[in-house]
Amino acid sequence: MLELNRYDTNELKEKDKKHLWHNITPYSEQDRPMIVTEAAGSWVTDSEGNRYLDAMSGLWCVNVGYGRQELADAAYKQLSTMPYFPLTQSHLPAIELAEKLNEWLEGEYVIFFSNSGSEANEVAFKIARQYQQQIGQHNRFKFISRYRAYHGSSLGALSATGQAQRKYKYEPLTSGFLHVAPPDSYRRPDGMSVEDFNLQCANEIERTIVWEGVESVAAVIMEPVITGGGIIVPEPSYLKRVEEICNQYGVLLIIDEVICGFGRSGRKFGHQNFSIQPDIVTMAKGLTSGYLPLSATAVRKEIYDTFKDNTEMYSHLRHVNTFGGNPASCALALANLQLLEREQLVARAEVLGQRLRSAFDDLLEHPLVGDIRHFGFLLGIELVADKTTKAPASVDVVKKIIGECKRAGLIIGKNGDTVAGYNNVLTFSPPLASTDDDMAFIISTFKQVMANQI
Ligand code: PLP
């Protein structure tokens, strides 16, 4: 723990400014970074002693909450006995964790470990392309994703991402990535039912496959629910139809569970809410509750077998990373899953998500609130300037609300898509272990801030 009297905060901020390049934050906002020095439960404390309830779980990842000693102990014990060996060979924590993940996935999968969500998706893309080639589908290299989706920062994962502002000045990216519209039911055409609109969005994937040439498409990638793009929740029939289309055309279905996994959705994995069986599942964040870096690409055993049983040259997966499946990360992840099970946090996520949604019911009457969407313990509030036209609220309005929440001790998120003008969704993704008092604080603080906007 950092001792508050060791540095004065101004000095720390000067050092920060001089030496640290922050993730994504615009330079205009870097003058006053919050320097977090302690964290416990759902709360973080900054270097000035201010406490905040972190209703975003960091970057949607601290599922079990901060300060869990048993996770630190699991990592320490592993570091003390066998700190590192590469997964070109094997070690106990990786084997045990892979077995546990299979149990959670409720299917037969083989697990490839990496370090981040982006990397897990890169591995999925490489496996999908190589698999298609190895079953004789030599031209299947394209991927279909959705606008507004985020799948990571590396060039392939960024290519899959459907948010233009993240790509500016980094293009050209990896070729072969196509995008279709997300099932944003709030903005469906007037007079169309939600069910029909979702079906139309799913069928756009089929149309794209056919127009692009069936023999050219390797896989579809999607989150069960678009999270960073503004909590866009599909009808259950949408994902079922997508699965059906993928099966019909020999296209693999990659489900990105980087945020939706590990209880966030009220089930172990988000896709389990929709009764689909993905070919590949990618995961990160909640796998270790953010305590150490680790990600995984889970691949259906039949796909793995086409690699294993192929004796041609270069038919094995030629992907290696030094740190993927680090023993301490795996040991900690296993302890994290055991903790989620023991405290029944997956079921609690569903209960808390419902509680938050119900508590915010009356906000639908607020002039700025266009829509409220939730999925498990994820919630998005879409702010509008005009409820009839659904014109998005301005960035200034969104920032003002977030700033007032922060001053009142509540950290919430802002998501959507800047270029499309929809960076207007306030997001909530609190630790699944949030207490009843935490919930009361989130609800009362946010509602008070919203009441001040009228
Ligand atoms: N996929 C999704 C859905 C994400 O939200 C993220 C990160 O926010 C990623 C992938 C990339 O994960 P990472 O930041 O660990 O590379």
- One domain for residues 118 and 78: yes
Section 310-332 average pLDDT? 96
105 pLDDT more than 80: yes
Residue 222 shares a structural domain with residue 348 = no
Query: Does 115 sit in the ligand 1 pocket, CB within 6 Å?
Result: no
Do 73 and 59 fall into the same domain? no
Tell me which residue of 206, 187, 194 sits closest to 422, measured CA to CA.
187
pLDDT grade, residue 375 (50/70/90)?
very high
Residue 118, ligand 1, Cβ within 6 A: yes
Q: Is 122 in the pocket of ligand 1 (CB under 6 A)?
A: no
Indicate if 338 and 355 belong to the same structural domain: no
Residue 101 lies in a domain: yes
Residue 7: per-residue pLDDT: 64
Q: Please indicate, yes or no, whether residues 58 and 122 belong to a single structural domain of this protein.
A: no
Domain boundary (342, 358, 384) is at 342
Written as six digits, the tokens of 28 are 């205009």
Residue 19 lies in a domain: no
| Residue 210 counted as domain residue | yes
172 CA distance to ligand 1 centroid (A)? 21
Give the pLDDT confidence score for residue 6 in this predicted structure. 60
Long-range contacts of 43-49 (CB under 8 A, 24+ apart): 43/438, 44/411, 47/2, 47/4, 47/7, 47/9, 47/12, 48/9, 49/4
CA of 407 to the centre of ligand 1 (A): 28
In a domain, 18, yes or no: no
Q: How many domains does the chain have?
A: 2
State mean pLDDT over 25-41: 86
Residue closest by Cα to atom 7 of ligand 1: 152
Which residues span the domain enclosing 402?
Answer: 34-64+344-451
| Assigned domain for 11 exists | no
Least confident interval from 107-121, 153-167, 241-255, 414-428: 414-428
Residue 2 banded pLDDT, cuts 50, 70, 90: very low
Give the Å distance between the CA of 362 and the centre of ligand 1: 32
Mutational test site, ligand 1, from 62, 123, 151, 294, max ligand atoms within 8 Å of CB: 151
Distance (Å) from CA 232 to ligand 1 centroid: 16
What's the distance, CA 406 to chain centroid?
A: 23
Q: What value does the mean pLDDT take over residues 49-67?
A: 98
Helix (H) or strand (E) holding 132: helix 117-134
Note the pTM of the prediction, 2 decimals.
0.97
What is the reported pLDDT for 334? 98
180 CA distance to ligand 1 centroid (A)?
20
Q: Is the pLDDT at 37 greater than 60, yes or no? A: yes
Q: How many angstroms is it from 123 CA to the middle of ligand 1? A: 13
Probe target for ligand 1 pocket from 23, 62, 150, 414, with the most ligand atoms within 8 Å of CB? 150
331, 354: one domain: no
Which CATH number covers residue 233?
3.40.640.10
ipTM: 1.00
Residue 417 is predicted with a pLDDT of 83
Higher pLDDT, 124 or 418: 124
Could you tell me what percent of the chain has a pLDDT over 90? 93
Nearest atom of ligand 1 to the alpha carbon of 149: 3
Ligand 1 and 326: CB distance under 6 A: no
DSSP per-residue string spanning 298-344: EEEHHHHHHHHT--STT-S-----SSTT-HHHHHHHHHHHHHHHHTT
Average pLDDT over residues 98-103: 98
Over residues 217-232, the mean pLDDT reads: 98
223 CB near ligand 1 (under 6 Å)? yes
Q: Are 256 and 286 in a shared domain? A: yes
Give the position of tokens 């299979």: 102
Give pLDDT, residue 422: 80
For residue 13, being part of any structural domain is answered with: no
In this prediction, what percent of the chain has a pLDDT beyond 70? 98
Contacts of 208 (CB under 8 A, 6+ apart): 144, 178, 180, 217
CA 327 / ligand 1 centre spacing (Å): 22
Query: Are 89 and 235 within one domain?
Result: yes
Same domain, 314 and 353: no
> Residue 57 belongs to a domain with what CATH number?
3.90.1150.10
Ligand 1 centroid–CA 118 distance in Å is: 6
**230 and 141, same structural domain?**
yes
Residue 155: Cβ within 10 Å count: 15
Q: Same domain, yes or no, for 171 and 83?
A: yes
DSSP 214-254: GGGEEEEEE-SSB-TTT-BPPPHHHHHHHHHHHHHHT-EEE
Residues 354, 291 share a domain:
no
What's the pLDDT at 8? Answer: 85
Regarding the beta carbon of 117 and ligand 1, being less than 6 Å apart is answered yes
318, 342, 366: which is the final residue of a domain?
A: 342
Ligand 1 within 6 A of CB of 303: no
Inter-residue contact 65 to 352 (CB < 8 Å):
no
Is the per-residue pLDDT at 414 higher than 90? yes
The answer to whether residue 3 scores a pLDDT higher than 60 is no
| Burial label, 33 (beta-carbon count in 10 A; 0-12, 13-18, 19+) | middle
- 311, 342, 373 - which closes a domain: 342
Residue 245 lies in a domain: yes
For residue 115, how far is its CA from the centre of ligand 1 (angstroms)? Answer: 11
pLDDT exceeds 90 at position 51: yes
Best of 113, 163, 259, 287 for a ligand 1 pocket test (most atoms within 8 Å of beta carbon): 259
Residue 26 lies in a domain: no
Give nearest CA residue, ligand 1 atom 12.
117
> What pairing do the DSSP bridges indicate for beta strands 142-146 and 109-114?
unpaired
Residues listed for the chain: 454
